[in-house]
């Protein structure tokens, strides 16, 4: 069987990334041009600035990805840009570029759901991993528990009803004056504190859905009303509580699906405390194996998009050039 080289393009938020992946599992290149230093001064991503920077970076990043993979445009078999969810202007840069390449090179276009990409990041880390499994997707825009029945077949078992967990991390970071990006800074400060502050946990009867607005509001109130609050303790308590919420719902999903494999993905899966607590699940369930992507594949990158594109392509999916970006795309 001929090798399939997929060119992945990711521009859903503030990373311009292009990657070449062979057969959905082997990363030949994965170039990431981050805009974090640009948006840091604003305390978060400014959509229009993100779009302009994607336009400036996309051609340069693509050339670098091809050079690192030691291939030419003609060697590419499939073009896979992210089509959503994400910032609409940012998405349009990568999607338009991917459509132009598809037309100019006469190569099939297979657009990818960004959420599928985060799941597929684990296929690049674990060559042996195959569905079915339960995936816990935790990122800036999504918190979901997904029953991954096959490479392109998904059932959402639970999702957030308000803030995504990554949003909650960013808002807590803002409240305690840590700045942007919030997730890594909360993780670092939490290591210096004690989880000794009681915070609310929200669960729903007969549902695996999440809600993080209550704990976010509690953090704001405690920080505002308590003199000389220890910010490290506040971060440690927040991180411990939201992780417990995740773990408690995942345990219900394990029992519901009888799965032997739990996978985590998304930018928040880079959090050191969360990673460690998920690994501890293997002690509670002796038959369970926990998978998590390499740190460099947790945050947004084009390799995961290319991997998801490959599995969509071999399942028979292709898109035409009328395709548009879908900022609120669901799984």
Question: Above 80 in pLDDT, residue 41?
Answer: no
How far is residue 221 from each of residues 92, 210, 216, 232, measured CA to CA in Å? 39, 21, 9, 16
Task: State the pLDDT at residue 34.
Answer: 82
> What's the whole-number mean pLDDT along residues 274-281?
95
Task: State the pLDDT at residue 141.
Answer: 85
Task: State the pLDDT at residue 214.
Answer: 92
Among candidates 130, 118, 134, which has minimal Cα distance to 305?
Answer: 118
- The residue whose two tokens read 């460690």 is 276
For the ranges 36-40, 141-145, 147-151, 259-263, the lowest mean pLDDT is seen at: 36-40
Beta strand residue intervals within 25-132, DSSP E: 26-34, 78-84, 112-113
- The residue whose two tokens read 């000389």 is 228
Question: Above 80 in pLDDT, residue 135?
Answer: yes
For the ranges 37-46, 66-75, 122-131, 190-199, the lowest mean pLDDT is seen at: 37-46
Question: Above 80 in pLDDT, residue 292?
Answer: yes
> What's the whole-number mean pLDDT along residues 153-179?
92
pTM exceeds 0.85, yes or no: yes
Domains and CATH numbers, the chain: 5-118+298-314 (3.30.420.40), 131-293 (3.30.420.40)
- The residue whose two tokens read 């132009």 is 100
For the ranges 141-150, 206-215, 220-229, the lowest mean pLDDT is seen at: 220-229
Question: Above 90 in pLDDT, residue 44?
Answer: no
Question: Above 80 in pLDDT, residue 42?
Answer: no
pLDDT in tens, 224-276: 888 889 999 999 999 999 999 999 999 999 999 999 999 999 999 999 999 99
């Amino acid at each position: 069987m001929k090798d399939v080289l997929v060119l992945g393009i990711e521009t859903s938020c503030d990373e311009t990334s292009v990657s070449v992946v062979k057969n959905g599992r082997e990363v030949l290149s994965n170039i990431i041009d981050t805009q974090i230093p640009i948006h840091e001064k604003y305390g978060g991503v400014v959509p229009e600035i993100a779009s302009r920077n994607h336009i400036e970076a996309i051609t340069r990043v693509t050339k670098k990805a091809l050079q690192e993979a030691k291939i030419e445009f003609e060697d590419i078999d499939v073009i896979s840009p992210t089509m959503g969810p994400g910032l609409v202007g940012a998405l349009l840069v990568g999607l338009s570029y991917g459509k132009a390449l598809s037309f100019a090179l006469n190569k099939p276009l297979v657009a990818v759901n960004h959420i599928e990409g985060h799941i597929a990041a684990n296929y690049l880390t674990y060559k042996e991993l195959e569905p079915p499994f339960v995936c816990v997707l935790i990122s800036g825009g999504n918190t979901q528990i997904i029953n991954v029945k096959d490479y392109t077949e998904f059932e959402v078992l639970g999702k957030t009803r308000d803030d995504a967990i990554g949003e909650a991390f960013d808002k807590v970071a803002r409240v305690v004056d840590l700045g942007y990006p919030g997730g890594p800074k909360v993780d670092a400060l939490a290591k210096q504190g004690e989880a000794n502050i009681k915070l609310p946990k929200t669960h729903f009867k007969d549902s695996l859905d999440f809600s993080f607005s209550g704990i976010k509001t509690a953090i704001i109130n405690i920080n505002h009303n308590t003199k000389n609050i220890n910010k490290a303790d506040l971060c440690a308590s927040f991180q411990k509580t939201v992780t417990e919420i995740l773990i408690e719902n995942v345990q219900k999903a394990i029992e519901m699906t009888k799965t032997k494999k739990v996978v985590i993905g998304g930018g928040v899966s880079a959090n050191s405390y969360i990673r460690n607590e998920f690994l501890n699940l293997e002690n509670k369930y002796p038959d369970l194996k926990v998978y998590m992507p390499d740190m460099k594949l947790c945050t947004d990158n084009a390799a995961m998009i290319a991997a998801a594109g490959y599995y969509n392509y071999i399942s028979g999916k292709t898109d035409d050039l009328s395709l548009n970006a879908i900022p609120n795309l669901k799984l």
